[in-house]
Amino acid sequence: MANKKMTIIASKGTLDMAYPPLLLATTAAAMDIDVTIFFTFYGLQIIRKDNAEKLKVSPLGNPAMPMPMPMPMPAAAGLPALDELATSMMKEMFKKHSVATVGELLALAQESGVKFVACQMTMDVMGIKQEDIISGVEFGGAATWMDVAADSQVNLLV
């Protein structure tokens, strides 16, 4: 019997939201499910060369973030300082609990046969070239995703 199939559209490029597509994909691949991740919009940041370990997370706009922020924040420090702090804390939390980094999960996903497709249209708009993307990635458009999705049992957009 043919394997079950899953597609995930990865449209976010923050440190926190890079995890769900990669964790779900690697888990599914280990269960012999054929997985395709379609990286588009901000999600392209995940597969830019040398960028996986540089993704950041921001506490702004997300009061559900379970990290103690120094508030009221020092106005002088500014917003980028808040993002740096939240990013360091989140990476520390993952490391402490032996959760793989985004770069490690990317490698594991590719080793496990997860297919990566990068959205050419978004790349053009954002000025990202094919040589800026990690190796092993195919390039396509929404129709490429749609073809696979229509025959998949599970489709998600992150």
Q: Which of 49, 53, 70, 80 binds a copy of itself (CB under 8 A)?
A: 80
Among 49, 88, 99, 113, binds a copy of itself (CB under 8 A): 99
Report if residue 42 touches a copy of itself, rule: CB under 8 A.
yes
**Part of the chain binding a copy of itself (CB under 8 A), chosen from 104-112, 118-126, 129-137:** 118-126
Q: Among 78-86, 100-108, 109-117, 130-138, which window interacts with a copy of itself (CB under 8 A)?
A: 78-86
Residue 12: partners with Cβ closer than 8 Å, 6 or more residues away: 18, 41, 42, 43, 158
* Residue of 56, 112, 137, 140 interacting with a copy of itself (CB under 8 A): 56
d(CA 158, CA 148): 17
Kindly compute the dihedral angle of the four CA atoms of residues 89, 25, 117, 62, in this order, to the nearest 10 degrees.
-30
In 3D, which of 114, 93, 2, 94 has the Cα closest to residue 47? 114
Residue 78 binding a copy of itself, by CB under 8 A: yes
Question: Of residues 33, 106, 109, 133, which one binds a copy of itself by CB under 8 A?
Answer: 33
The 10 Å Cβ neighbour count of residue 142 is 15
